Amino acid sequence: MKSSIYTAALAILLGSISLNAQTHDRKALTIGGYGEIAMTRNFYTDSPYIYAKPDNYKDAPGHGRFDIPHATFAIGYDFGKGWTMQSEIEFEHLGTGATIEREYEEAGEFEQEIEKGGEVALEQFWIQKSFSNCLNVRVGHIVVPVGALNNSHEPMNYFTVYRPEGEYTIFPSTWHDTGINIWGDAGDWHYEALMVAGLDAFMFNTDNFIKKGAVSPYEFKVANTYGFAGRIDNTSFRNLRLGLSGWFGNSMHNTYPNDLKGDGLKYDKCRGTVLIASFDFEYVSSRLTVRGNADYATLDDSAEISKAKAVRAANDSPYSKEPVGRAAYAFGFEAGYDILPWFNLKDKSQKLYVFGRTEAYNPYIPAKGQTSATYTEKIRQAVGLNWIPIPEIAVKCEYSRRFLGSGYYDEPSVSLGIVYMGFFKH
């Protein structure tokens, strides 16, 4: 009986591989991308001392910004017989070059530097072999789908003008790294399993937890340690997708040169293990869209890492001297409802969503003995409109307010944006 079951399973798998090969004989070029144009008026000061001396800046003037947060261009090619390639280059904030920044951890002084990581990035470059719907192997530079935002980071996949603030604050976004990804679909289930280069604990900081840990300041990505990520999605329920994702990997001693042995310091056994557990969901019907996320991440040895960073990060090094906490969290929920049918327009393809979003996050939960930073715990609420005249374009507007803890003042703002997302086959 067992033999017949195994034979049937093997026949199904081989048949799926054969069918997949037949359906991939036709070669095709895919081009596309996405982009965002945004304008914001913040009704609070941009002083670097706003959290150190909040009472002194209660009535300080606000500030405005124009920005192009992301402009991404993608080219893919289907070679046939299950072999495909995808590449994607992203320009953040108008590209790269010399820039002036205010270093908040250095008393707000101005610093001029050449931007490398994060300004112009090769976000994806991979080659894939598809054996069947349930087995695909992808090797190269890959998006790490941990959390709701990294899994669906294109601007048509959230209502706010900017990317949802909680996950964008504590995790790399868009999180991309070089490694191998095995993924597939089986009925109502989708899975992904990845091994990529590990995070770098010396890039972690107070305001962003592990966010900058995936960025390399060098021409190569240091991989003294490795990270392992996984994701499972289920679509068994009508209009509803449920997702679980996570990450595991050590982050200490993932620097250049490798400092694990030989320097005689006391941090050789410090591993800096990062654990992430994330849940997200999306419900999409003809008029109602609801999304949510819950993320919790921990960092072992955060106190020791913070001490090591202060000692080892030389003034001319690319590493941060800021302490990093033992944990971080981000919870978010948004809902939008299409009100355009109320107006009985002839063009039924347009949509006009009224939306609201609320999220709570904290990138710095200190370990015992670490200094506190109460300003990092924040709640953000936003309401607004999304007009979608055609499926590939959205015009967004929102009013938002960020709430901080006792002793700090609210941070309201108004934002306008226009975004596009389109992918086309030749």
- 169-182, pLDDT tens digit by residue? 999 999 999 999 99
Query: What pLDDT does 263 receive?
Result: 52
Alpha-carbon distance values, 133 to 45, 213, 243, 404 (Å): 52, 33, 19, 47
Query: What pLDDT does 105 receive?
Result: 52
The pTM for the full model equals 0.87
What distance in Å separates the CA atoms of residue 299 and residue 171, rounded to the nearest whole number? Answer: 13
Query: 3-state SS of 143-159?
Result: ECCCCHHHHCCCHHHCC
- Whether 107 shows a pLDDT value over 70: the answer reads no
Q: Which amino acid is at 413?
A: S
Query: What pLDDT does 111 receive?
Result: 60
- As a whole number, mean pLDDT of residues 22-41 equals 83
- Whether 4 shows a pLDDT value over 50: the answer reads no
In order of their start, the domains of the chain are 27-425 (2.40.160.10)
- Whether 41 shows a pLDDT value over 60: the answer reads yes
Summary mean pLDDT of the chain: 88
Considering the chain, what percentage of its residues have pLDDT values greater than 70?
85
Query: What pLDDT does 319 receive?
Result: 76
- Whether 298 shows a pLDDT value over 60: the answer reads yes
- Whether 8 shows a pLDDT value over 70: the answer reads no
Residue appearing with tokens 């991404």: 72
What distance in Å separates the CA atoms of residue 190 and residue 192, rounded to the nearest whole number? Answer: 7
Tokens of 273: 């293990």
**Per-residue pLDDT tens over the stretch 222-277:** 899 999 999 999 999 999 999 999 999 999 988 877 766 655 557 778 899 999 99
- As a whole number, mean pLDDT of residues 207-234 equals 92
- Whether 37 shows a pLDDT value over 90: the answer reads yes
Please check whether residue 115 is in contact with residue 64, taking contact to mean a CB–CB distance below 8 angstroms: no
What distance in Å separates the CA atoms of residue 147 and residue 294, rounded to the nearest whole number? Answer: 8
Across 241-274, b (16+ Cβ under 10 Å) vs e yields bbbebbbebbbbbbbeeebbeeeeeebeebbbbb
Alpha-carbon distance values, 403 to 111, 130, 267, 380, 382 (Å): 29, 47, 38, 6, 11
Query: What pLDDT does 22 receive?
Result: 43
